[in-house]
């Protein structure tokens, strides 16, 4: 791995596989450290393609008996709104299949915003979600991907630095990118619940994953554009312990 850095977002150029190993090591240390101190490690998790190699690595270690994640507590970044509770396309269902069931994480230790709420209920649920994060002692390490338009979680362009968990409307690019999972853009939910930028920046460590040529432009904008709501991922540069894992394809000309 070759570490380089911008002022506050450390960039680690590596392979997707080595990033998964490094991050799995860091998570294993957090879990072990929590156990020594008699508390659960609190992990912030993301959906999308970017963290899948990490979840694969965590599942492998759990299967081989070298990692026990069963006493961790998790909070996912976001969830679609307008789906039935057990919809297989919900982020909750995807997290079960890609991680929770494979590492023996009991459902009551995992938090994913609900997908089956109407607007009035969603606002209260969002408030409770923030309180649950606080009650768990805050998030030790938040895993993140970056959307093509610079969103983090579902904080679309226009999302401010002080936003908290709330209902949002999805941007056109986000709907397009999700189309294949919903049988076309017309089937994609238009609204979602997401942790806010402020919620995300309160996590003690941020670990961001971006691989492949499709991420090149947004990685460049995240690192180079002015910090602000036009590219919400730029706010990651304001965090004191944020690391971006990229491969050579995602870093492009900056290598
Ligand atoms: C999705 C999720 C984000 C995710 C991002 C990138 O819509 N809401 O949490 O990080 O978009 O997804 P991917 O990793 O598939 O590129």
State phi, psi for 196 to the nearest 5 degrees.
Answer: -85, 175
| Burial category of 84 from C-beta neighbours within 10 Å (exposed 0-12, middle 13-18, buried 19 and up) | exposed
**What pLDDT sits at residue 86?**
87
If you search the block for the tokens 């397009």, which residue do you land on?
176
- Among 50, 152, 192, 213, say which to mutate for ligand 1: greatest number of ligand atoms within 8 Å of CB: 50
Report the percent of the chain where pLDDT is more than 70.
Answer: 96
pLDDT at residue 253 is higher than 70: no
Both tokens of 67, joined, read 């990692």
- The response to whether residue 55 sits with its C-beta less than 6 Å from ligand 1 reads no
**What pLDDT sits at residue 135?**
98
State phi, psi for 123 to the nearest 5 degrees.
Answer: -65, -45
**If you measure from the C-alpha of residue 168 to the centroid of ligand 1, how many angstroms do you get, rounded to a whole number?**
15
Top-confidence residue, 221 or 254: 221
pLDDT at residue 171 is higher than 70: yes
Are the beta carbons of 99 and 59 closer than 8 angstroms?
yes
pTM assigned to the model? 0.95
Are the beta carbons of 92 and 115 closer than 8 angstroms?
yes
Contacts of residue 28, Cβ cutoff 8 Å, sequence gap at least 6: 61, 67
The total of other beta-carbon atoms located within 10 Å of residue 48's CB is 17
Report the percent of the chain where pLDDT is more than 90.
Answer: 94
Q: Which residues are catalytic?
A: 78, 149, 151, 156
Q: List pLDDT tens digits, range 181-195.
A: 999 999 999 999 999
pLDDT at residue 5 is higher than 50: no
- The response to whether residue 147 sits with its C-beta less than 6 Å from ligand 1 reads yes
State phi, psi for 88 to the nearest 5 degrees.
Answer: -65, -15
pLDDT classification of 234: cutoffs 50, 70, 90: very high
Average pLDDT, the chain: 95
**If you measure from the C-alpha of residue 197 to the centroid of ligand 1, how many angstroms do you get, rounded to a whole number?**
15
- Among 20, 113, 145, say which to mutate for ligand 1: greatest number of ligand atoms within 8 Å of CB: 145
Strands 191-194 vs 166-169: parallel, antiparallel or unpaired:
antiparallel
**What pLDDT sits at residue 211?**
98
Q: List pLDDT tens digits, range 73-112.
A: 999 999 999 999 989 999 999 999 999 999 999 999 999 9
Are the beta carbons of 84 and 117 closer than 8 angstroms?
no
Pick the closest to residue 196 from 133, 137, 245 (CA basis).
133
- The response to whether residue 150 sits with its C-beta less than 6 Å from ligand 1 reads no
Are the beta carbons of 245 and 207 closer than 8 angstroms?
yes
- The response to whether residue 153 sits with its C-beta less than 6 Å from ligand 1 reads yes
């Amino acid at each position: 791995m070759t570490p380089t850095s911008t002022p506050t977002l450390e960039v680690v150029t590596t392979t997707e596989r080595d990033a998964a190993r490094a991050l799995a090591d860091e998570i294993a240390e957090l879990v072990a450290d929590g156990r020594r101190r008699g508390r659960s490690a609190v992990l912030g998790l993301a959906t999308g393609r970017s963290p899948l190699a990490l979840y694969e690595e965590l599942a492998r270690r759990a299967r081989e008996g070298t990692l026990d994640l069963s006493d961790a507590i998790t909070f996912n970044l976001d969830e679609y709104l307008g789906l039935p509770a057990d919809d297989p396309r919900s982020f909750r269902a995807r997290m079960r299949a890609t991680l929770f069931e494979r590492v023996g994480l009991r459902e009551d230790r995992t938090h994913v915003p609900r997908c089956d709420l109407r607007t009035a209920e969603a606002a209260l649920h969002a408030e409770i979600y923030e309180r649950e994060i606080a009650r768990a002692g805050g998030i030790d390490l938040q895993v993140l991907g970056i959307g093509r338009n610079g969103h983090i979680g579902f904080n679309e362009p226009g999302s401010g630095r002080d936003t908290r968990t709330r209902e949002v409307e999805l941007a056109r690019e986000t709907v397009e990118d999700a189309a294949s999972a919903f049988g076309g853009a017309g089937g994609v939910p238009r609204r979602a619940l997401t942790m806010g930028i402020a919620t995300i920046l309160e996590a003690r460590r941020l670990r961001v994953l971006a691989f492949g040529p499709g991420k090149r432009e947004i990685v460049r904008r995240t690192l180079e554009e002015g910090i602000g709501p036009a590219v919400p991922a730029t706010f990651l540069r304001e965090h004191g312990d944020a690391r971006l894992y990229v491969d050579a394809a995602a870093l492009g000309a900056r290598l």
